[in-house]
């Protein structure tokens, strides 16, 4: 089986009411535009504006998917710690 390579991003956005959404994409700029227009993930409809608070780039599709799954299993507190650490490295 051939590995799908390219640019894949795992991201966390913060919604207007303070909730978090985790997703992956191969075009982060376009994905954020879609989310802010109420398109894409159903969860985000009506929750804009959103703020990108975490993003990490991966070369392999499978790596990105696995990271997305692991992030979704984190508690809110763990997500906030991850975001805080990420903000310090910007």
28, 74 in Cβ contact below 8 A?
Answer: no
Per-residue pLDDT, 42:
85
Per-residue pLDDT, 8:
97
4, 31 in Cβ contact below 8 A?
Answer: no
Q: What is the pLDDT of residues 35-58, one digit of tens each?
A: 988 888 888 888 888 999 999 999
Range of the domain at 60: 5-89
Mean pLDDT by 10 residues, the chain (90 residues): 82 94 96 89 86 96 97 98 92
Please tell me the total count of domains within the chain: 1
Which domain CATH number covers 68?
Answer: 3.40.1440.10
Per-residue pLDDT, 1:
58
Per-residue pLDDT, 2:
64
22, 35 in Cβ contact below 8 A?
Answer: no
72, 33 in Cβ contact below 8 A?
Answer: no
**Of the candidates 22, 19, 30, 7, which has an alpha carbon nearest to the alpha carbon of residue 68?**
22
């Amino acid at each position: 089986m051939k590995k799908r390579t390219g640019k894949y991003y795992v991201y966390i956005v913060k919604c207007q009411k303070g909730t978090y959404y985790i997703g992956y994409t191969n075009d982060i700029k376009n994905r954020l535009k879609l989310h802010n227009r109420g398109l894409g993930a159903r969860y985000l409809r009506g929750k804009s504006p959103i703020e990108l608070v975490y993003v990490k780039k991966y070369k392999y599709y499978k790596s990105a998917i696995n990271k997305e799954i692991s992030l979704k299993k984190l508690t809110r507190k763990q997500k906030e710690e991850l975001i805080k650490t990420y903000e310090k490295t910007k």
